[in-house]
Amino acid sequence: MTNHSIELAPSILAADPMNFMKEIQDAENCGADLHHFDVMDGHFVPNLTYGLPLVAKFKKVAKIPLDVHIMIQNPDEMAIKYVEAGADVLVFHVEAARHHHMLATSIRNAGGRPGVAINPGTSLSNLDAILEDLEVVNVMTVNPGFGGQKFITSSLRKIESLANLIAKRGLSVVIQVDGGVNVETVASIRNAGATRLVAGTAFYGAEDRMQAAKMLRG
């Protein structure tokens, strides 16, 4: 049975960078709900990807919202610039930000939807004071920095605890799972309470992307 409550955000990290235009159109034709866009600065994470100018270019052609995940060491300074460049959802790391509440509020004031990413080694208690202010929690189920890594199974407990916490408080925060989402892991991720799935390799690396999208949604 198709579960339409599960949203799919293909990660362009796994797309062919020589053909970004064709790649994002393909994701849209396969029913993607958002484009996930991984910004890495070579400091907060060892890898380096892309920044503001490319987000602005994508915004011009994308027909669905941009979900911009900034893996950078200075989100307090840079997050708003990404919203201004075209990020619809702006996900910053709880480990990197200093003034979480202020940052979430200013993202909203700038017209963006605030989200927080949480690393595998970071406790959920770090979200306690800001959960109400967020649209999405991006649960990292691999260590950030690279696509194609193995799903960290103990993250399932964290997803479940987050789902319980959100329900207990009567909130409607989206639980987005990022890293190692694929055919083998997706059922347990959905069962744990995820409502939005980021998929890099499992979508862009699939031979039949339409089929992959269908399967990931369940």
Per CB under 5 A, 209 contacts Zn ion: no
Q: Count of H helices and E strands in the chain?
A: 8, 8
Per CB under 6 A, 200 contacts ligand DX5: yes
Contact in structure between 175 and 127 (CB atoms under 8 Å): no
Tokens representing 106 are 């200013």
Q: Residue 9: name its binding partner from ligand DX5, Zn ion, none (Cβ under 5 to 8 Å by kind).
A: none
Identify which range of 40-48, 65-73, 93-101, 126-134 contacts Zn ion by CB under 5 A: 65-73
Burial of 179 (0-12, 13-18, 19+ CB in 10 A): buried
Q: 80-109 mask for ligand DX5 (x: CB under 6 A)?
A: ------------------------------
Which is closer to ligand DX5, CB of 129 or CB of 210? 210
Distance CA 180, CA 31 (A): 20
Tokens representing 101 are 């509440």
Identify which range of 23-31, 101-109, 193-201, 206-214 contacts ligand DX5 by CB under 6 A: 193-201
16 annotated active-site: no
Per CB under 6 A, 217 contacts ligand DX5: no
Per CB under 5 A, 196 contacts Zn ion: no
DSSP string, 26-53: HHHHTT-S-EEEEEEBSSSSS-B---HH
CB of 6 to ligand DX5, least distance (A): 15
Residue among 20, 26, 11 at smallest CA distance from 57: 20
41 annotated active-site: no
Residues that bind ligand DX5 (CB under 6 A): 11, 13-14, 36, 38, 69, 142, 144-145, 147-149, 178-181, 198-202
**Which residues participate in catalysis according to the annotation?**
38, 178
